[in-house]
């Protein structure tokens, strides 16, 4: 066994050793008497800390560094609003019309005629584009009741976008009033979209973001169904033409209401203002109106087949205000001197022009 003294001599442990060969244990500091000045210094530091804590907890919320949260606003998560792109494309130099009207034949044929009236869909959709199609899927209704978009038209549009335009992806999305899954199923719109190769987006609690819409009066900042808009290049709205018990008509502009989240029903109290806000919330590439089944009364929900008339019109437009004004007069057969107030408000907000004179091209 190594002699402790020899181990110390060799530098194995420089600390003093006890009789049993273990080193003497000493703390890193030595406790000494506290002087009056040191004591007062420590008391002052503790008082400062306590005073600061008292200030932070009791100072008014708007004071610097205050930690009070009587209103609960301080603990709310900070939300940074996003903005949407402007998805509009200038019309073809060869196309003089802002609104194309297709008549005669099947709904598919009328859709192609309407799009040809404004220069053809290939003018507005480029190969590789990600395209969002927004139908009206608001209610759990069969297509024959006219309260929602017609699946045959959606299927043909998705097919045209993927085959004719070679779009990279076509998304079909809405935030229905009733159960989204049930609405997409009962209307036939999910099956039609997927049959053509489209991808259906259903809303959930994580699919919404706060949207900033400059110039909007009611929804300058409001929750918006944003997930399907991620990386989207072009946006197309597809809406039925129908009566509405509050704003007189639900057509192309009103269709965007389905993208709002939150307690959107509160806007019914100022329906014309909110619809005109929608006209600047979305600047779509195209707006398509389906006049093949028109809900003439008891809109927007419908439910009675006797309220539906069969039409022979599909419209495609660059100017949704002019399009809605024409449809109000010619499809719903209402007095053009009694246009819904939201159309005039939309015009004031720069979304289009009510007067469609000289800007319509009809293809039979």
Confidence band of 10 (pLDDT split at 50, 70, 90):
very low
Give the lowest-confidence range in 11-20, 55-64, 212-221. Answer: 11-20
With beta carbons less than 8 A apart as the criterion, state whether 210 and 200 touch: no
Q: How many CA atoms lie within 13 A of 171 on its CB side?
A: 19
Distances (CA, A) of 119 to 99, 133, 178: 10, 19, 37
Mark which of 61, 76, 91 sits at the end of a domain.
76
Look up the CATH number of the domain holding residue 316.
3.40.50
| 226/192 Cα distance (integer angstroms) | 23
Instruction: Give the list of residues 6+ apart from residue 283 with CB closer than 8 angstroms, or none.
Output: 84, 85, 86, 87, 88
| Cis amide linkage into residue 108, ω under 30° from 0 | no
Do 152 and 56 have their domain in common?
no
Mean pLDDT, residues 250-277: 96
The rounded distance, in Å, linking the Cα atoms of 217 and 220 is 6
Residues 26 and 173 in one domain: no
Long-range contacts formed by 67-74: CB under 8 A, 24+ apart: none
With cut-offs at 50, 70 and 90, classify the pLDDT of residue 9. Answer: very low
Mean pLDDT on 144-171: 97
pLDDT at 78: 77
With a cut of 90, say whether residue 168 has pLDDT above it: yes
Q: What is the pLDDT of residue 300?
A: 95
Helices (H), 187-335: 189-195, 271-281, 320-330
Q: Flag whether 257 is in a domain.
A: yes
CA distances from 220 to 157, 164, 211, 281 (A): 32, 37, 8, 9
Residue at 300 is within a domain: yes
What's the domain count of the chain? Answer: 2
Burial of 40 (0-12, 13-18, 19+ CB in 10 A): exposed
pLDDT of 207 higher than 70: yes
* Among the listed residues 238, 236, 241, the one whose alpha carbon sits nearest the alpha carbon of residue 324: 241
Supply 36's token pair: 């009056």
**Same structural domain for residues 33 and 167?**
no
Structural domain that includes position 141:
99-363
272 plus 197 within the same structural domain: yes
Q: Is 48 found in the same domain as 161?
A: no
Percent of all residues in the chain with a pLDDT value above 70, rounded to a whole number: 79
H helix or E strand, kind and range, residue 17: none
CA distance 337 to 332: 14
**pLDDT above 90 for 47:** no
Highest mean pLDDT among 51-55, 65-69, 216-220: 216-220
């Amino acid at each position: 066994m190594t002699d402790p003294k020899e181990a110390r001599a060799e530098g194995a442990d420089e600390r003093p050793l006890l009789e049993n060969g273990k080193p003497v244990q000493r703390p890193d500091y030595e406790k000494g008497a506290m002087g009056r000045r040191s004591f007062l210094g420590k008391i002052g530091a503790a008082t400062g800390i306590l005073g600061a804590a008292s200030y932070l907890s009791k100072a008014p919320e708007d004071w610097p560094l205050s930690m009070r949260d009587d209103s609960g606003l301080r603990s709310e998560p900070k939300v940074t609003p996003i903005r949407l792109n402007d998805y509009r494309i200038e019309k073809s130099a060869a196309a003089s019309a802002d609104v194309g009207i297709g008549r005669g034949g099947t709904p598919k044929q009328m859709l192609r005629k309407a799009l040809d009236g404004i220069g053809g869909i290939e003018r507005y959709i480029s190969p590789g584009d990600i395209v969002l199609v927004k139908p009206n899927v608001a209610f759990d209704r069969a297509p024959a009741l006219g309260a929602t978009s017609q699946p045959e038209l959606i299927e043909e549009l998705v097919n045209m976008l993927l085959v004719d335009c070679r779009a990279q992806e076509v998304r079909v999305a809405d935030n229905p009033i009733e159960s989204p899954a049930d609405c997409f199923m009962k209307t036939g719109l999910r099956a039609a979209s997927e049959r053509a190769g489209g991808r259906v987006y259903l809303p959930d609690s994580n699919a919404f973001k706060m949207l900033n819409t400059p110039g909007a009066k009611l929804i300058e900042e409001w929750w918006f169904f944003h997930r399907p808009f991620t990386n989207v290049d072009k946006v197309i709205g597809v809406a039925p033409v129908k009566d509405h018990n509050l704003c007189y008509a639900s057509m192309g502009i009103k269709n965007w209401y389905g993208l709002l989240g939150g307690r959107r029903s509160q806007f019914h109290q100022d329906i014309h203002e909110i619809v005109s806000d929608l006209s600047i919330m979305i600047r779509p590439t195209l707006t398509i109106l389906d006049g093949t089944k028109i809900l003439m009364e008891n809109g927007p929900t419908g439910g009675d087949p006797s309220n539906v008339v069969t039409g022979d019109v599909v419209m495609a437009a660059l100017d949704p205000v002019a399009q809605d004004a024409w449809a109000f007069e010619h499809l719903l057969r209402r007095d053009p001197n009694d246009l819904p107030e939201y159309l005039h408000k939309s015009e004031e907000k720069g979304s289009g022009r009510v007067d469609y004179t000289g800007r319509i091209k009809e293809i039979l």
